[in-house]
Structure 1
């Protein structure tokens, strides 16, 4: 069934709210995707260097069966603080898992390394997370901004030959529809490798040729022995898939696993020891659909969201973007 693009942002999916907090001067920020009524969550972590919060409770055998927000953040491990601000704001609004004496919002998150892009001493804080949460919940469903915003503010790609040959990337989004089933994806693209169009294989951004005029090939750089990653474990593509499908935790986990294939379609190489790749799933439970259909549609959305993150970026902090080549 062909995709219906009448839904253009995850904020148009009923029950889903999303927004950013961005520090453009420092090249960092965070992105919050909220579901105050509660979604079924899943996660898949394939990168070798993840920085995450509350991923274990999303495992199918664990007892917590609701997810209220996902936070994608810059700032490396320091950026995990942004999720605390989201949890505090949700609690203030009465959103959370009722544990008798309080309501505890279930907030999962992941961070990417952007400390080498803008200012290494400025990272997303709890206040940034709170501000993004407020903007999401009070934003009247405004479409999510893309490019050098939120968790995408300090994203770069193609870094295996050193920063002088890397490129600016950012935050991307895509929404796909098959009948009543909707799958949307938000991705902050800070990959070690190159970003490709998953539909055509065209290189969008990545390691540049030595003269900086064109995109080379990170795999060839790696195989040729010219890799000179200045800092290990400093890359990550972090994503959230949102769907209106009705899923169990086990099914949401399977959708996350299937969706992770989008990284292989749109990033080369991917899931390296230098990447902390993580995919979250939030399912709002409105539409019955086979898990394999949900997973296939989510994979398409995530692959295109990754490509969108590279295309929407604007050159900054000395890094050119795709539009500059």
Structure 2
């Protein structure tokens, strides 16, 4: 069984840096997780409507072995610009893959749709990516903020019966330890379904009934009353960071295992209206069985998703779980 937590934030894992850029007025932002010395990366994309960058490069058969940053962003496809800013800031600092004539930072990312929350014309920019990258590198070890920050600023959940019955969600984090093995997870929770506690099954946030009480997205779907006026307007995007020593194939398998956390914490999940994506970054300082890493990652990510619903604050016309 995992031991008592000795690491509280992914920023306490050696070699890992993270920070946000938040546009509170526009209800959007981005979250950057960095491994400047290079991590082994993997990814699993299961949603039906993803907006991603450099996921093909993480396939085990591709030759690049380093991953320097993962960017989780709002803004739908427009938010991919934030990843460009992260790459520019890393290059400015001389960080990236040495290709002889230059250093090329390897930056992967995914975006969620938050255009219906706040200002639809507010999107994370390259400057936001640069600022978040600089903040992460200039303030090492600072715990990551959670809730209505970064990629979680404009997150909502429980949208299967319309935006008017949805709830506010946000960005969550959890870190789990098993001896020397550490797995941390950061998740921006913008699902069309409900968020549940993965340990108890209790619904934390999701679709609300006409009187305001929590309902069930699955029952609404099965009962034929679900409606999605904004199709493909959802996505839970996340990054698992571990100190395990993994190959790209093993990191990919851990990402596939970690995606099970979505099923533990979100109902329904991986729908045609979600763009669910899980990244893995392995720093390579601890030897551990791949299945143990995957199992610990599932626990961390499930709890991070629940944390995203619990840490959110009511905003932009959406009530949060803490205020029910």
- Give the C-alpha shift of residue 210 in structure 1: 1.0
Alignment correspondent of 2:106: 106
SS in 2 for 1:264: helix
Alignment correspondent of 1:219: 218
Q: TM-score, normalised by structure 1?
A: 0.99
Report 1:147-296 matches (<5 A). Answer: 147-212=147-212, 214-296=213-295
Q: TM-score, normalised by structure 2?
A: 0.99
Alignment correspondent of 1:83: 83
In structure 2, distance between residues paired with 1:201 and 1:70 = 30
Residues 26-80 of structure 1 show CA distances to partners (whole Å, capped at 9, x for unaligned) of: 1000000000000000000000000000000000000011000000000000000
The ranges of structure 1 where at least 4 consecutive aligned residues each deviate by more than 6 angstroms after the TM superposition are none
Residues 119-163 of structure 1 show CA distances to partners (whole Å, capped at 9, x for unaligned) of: 000100000000000010001310000000000000000001001
- Give the C-alpha shift of residue 211 in structure 1: 1.3
In structure 1, distance between residues paired with 2:300 and 2:3 = 10
In structure 2, distance between residues paired with 1:284 and 1:102 = 23
Residues 147-206 of structure 1 show CA distances to partners (whole Å, capped at 9, x for unaligned) of: 000000000000010011000000000000000000000000000000000000000000
Superposition RMSD in Å = 0.5
- Give the C-alpha shift of residue 227 in structure 1: 1.1
SS in 2 for 1:113: coil
- Give the C-alpha shift of residue 4 in structure 1: 2.4
SS in 1 for 2:305: helix
Unaligned stretches of 5+ residues in structure 1: none
Unaligned stretches of 5+ residues in structure 2: none
SS in 2 for 1:177: strand
In structure 1, distance between residues paired with 2:35 and 2:283 = 8
In structure 2, distance between residues paired with 1:71 and 1:193 = 23
SS in 2 for 1:253: helix
How many residue pairs are counted as aligned between the two chains?
324
In structure 1, distance between residues paired with 2:127 and 2:255 = 29
